Amino acid sequence: MLITVAFSLSAGIAMNFKPPTSAESLRAIGSTKGLSEIFKKALEPGENFEPVPVPEQGDWLAVHPETGQSFDEFVGRKPNRPDKSRNKIYLQPLGKFPKYKIPLIRRLQEYASAYFGMQVQVLEHIDLSKQTLTTRINPYIQNRQILTSDVLALLKKKLPPDAFCILAVTMEDLYPQASWNFVFGQASLRERAGVYSFARYDPDFYGQKRGKDYEKILLRRSCKVLAHEISHMFGLEHCIYFKCVLNGSNHLKESDSRPMHLCPVCLHKLQYSIGFDVVDRYVMLLQFYKKAGFDDEAQWTTERLKWILGAEKAKAIIEQKSEQ
Ligand SMILES: [Zn+2]
Ligand SMILES: [Zn+2]
């Protein structure tokens, strides 16, 4: 996303972010009238969600004092929703992915399909040597970078007729225009296309030593940005209510401190668009987190299932699914 800085028009002083009260956050979840008892429970915060942290200097909300998007505001904006003809998420690898022990692109496909409860297809990678995408050598760190607008134009041409959206993912570095140093990603929501780079999620990029867990860290960061960015494609704006994967982020430390899960406001929005079963979704995510070794998210998801179903029933469902 392109970054802008908001100033108060009257005084010319940067506005401060005003954290919502807990009543405002509850209201933002929207009415649960007419929903199933299970889904109603899944939209009660209970003890599993913390309020959004007070931003420190340099954090996203200190620089961008957003006012939030409630469930009702989201619905009122009539966002794109998957339908009979456009119902698949496409991942388009841009260039080759280096041979990690963890097959990153396949794991991202698995994750997105559990996260959104939709079919996710990986396309044949784009061979950069055969493409006429504009590239440059970054003047500061001398690495190759690809111009995002060229990628978006290419994706627009390639958009499959049944695509809800197409996301190019790459280990190459990106830039949005000559005056910028770099960008993590950029999307055109109207054209249903986006491009995201994971290059800067690898310590090697900064010339730092890769720790023994670096592949797990890379996978975790990439999963998180994928969930965040694809959610934007569904019309979800940044979340200011709870700690949530949809919180904005201005730097790596802030992204790393974001959880992988959706808060009740954002879960309500995504379920409204896609219509998945919330329990099935949590069970699939739990299996993914266990396999990936994301112990904290596995623990959180187990606790959340217990909150929704009660301890006995949650245990039975988790055991039943892990035997399948
Ligand atoms: Zn965002
Ligand atoms: Zn949220």
Give the strand order in the sheet containing 173-175: 135-137, 144-147, 173-175
- CA atoms of 16 and 317, how far apart (whole Å): 45
What number of CA atoms fall less than 13 Å from residue 56's CA on the CB side? 3
Residues with CB under 5 Å of ion ligand 2 are 239, 244, 246, 263, 265-266
E-strand stretches of the chain:
88-94, 119-122, 135-137, 144-147, 163-170, 173-175, 185-188, 193-197
Q: Which amino acid is it at 103?
A: P
pLDDT in tens, 120-149: 999 999 999 888 899 999 988 899 999 999
What type of residue sits at position 195? V
Angle (deg, nearest 10), helices 104-116 and 278-292: 160
Q: Which of 172, 229, 237, 254 is catalytic?
A: 229
Tokens of 324: 């399948």
Compute, in angstroms, the gap from residue 314 CA to the centroid of ligand 2: 24
Residue 205 Cα, ligand 2 centroid: separation in angstroms? 30
Which residue type occupies 144?
R
Q: Is the pLDDT of residue 208 over 70?
A: yes
What confidence score (pLDDT) does residue 184 get?
87
Q: Do the bridges between strand 144-147 and strand 135-137 make them parallel or antiparallel, or are there none, so unpaired?
A: antiparallel
Going from the Cα of 265 to the center of ligand 2, the distance in angstroms, rounded, reads 5
Rounded to 5, what percent of the chain is helix, strand, coil?
40, 15, 45
Residue-wise pLDDT for 56-80, tens only, equals: 999 999 999 999 999 999 999 999 9
Q: How far is the CA of 84 from the centre of ligand 2 (A)?
A: 27
DSSP 133: -
- Measured CA to CA, the distance from residue 277 to residue 217 in angstroms comes to 29
- Angle in degrees, CA 57, 60, 63, rounded to 5: 65
Q: Calculate how far, in angstroms, residue 266's C-alpha sits from the geometric centre of ligand 1.
A: 13
Pairs from 33-36 (Cβ < 8 Å, separation ≥ 24): none
When the pLDDT of each residue in the chain is averaged and rounded to a whole number, the result is: 91
CA-CA distance, 204 to 188, in Å (whole number)?
30
Phi-psi category of 78—alpha, beta or left, where left has phi over 0 and alpha has psi -120 to 50?
A: left
3-class DSSP state of 236: coil
- Please name which ligand lies nearest the alpha carbon of 50: 2
CA of 198 to the centre of ligand 2 (A): 23
Whose tokens are 């134009």? That residue is 153
Ligand nearest to the CA of 69: 2
Higher model confidence: residue 4 or residue 132? 132
**Residue 246 CA: which ligand is closest?**
2
Ligand located closest to 68 CA: 2
pTM over 0.95: no
Say whether 191 is catalytic. Answer: no
129 or 312, higher pLDDT:
312
DSSP letter (8 states) at residue 249? -
User: Cα–Cα distance between 230 and 111 in angstroms, integer?
Assistant: 12
pLDDT digits (tens, 9 = 90+) for 156-178: 999 999 999 999 999 999 999 99
SS3 1: coil
Q: Which helix (H) or strand (E) holds 287?
A: helix 278-292
CA gap 51, 104 in Å, rounded: 32
Cα 200 to Cα 57: distance, rounded to the nearest angstrom? 22
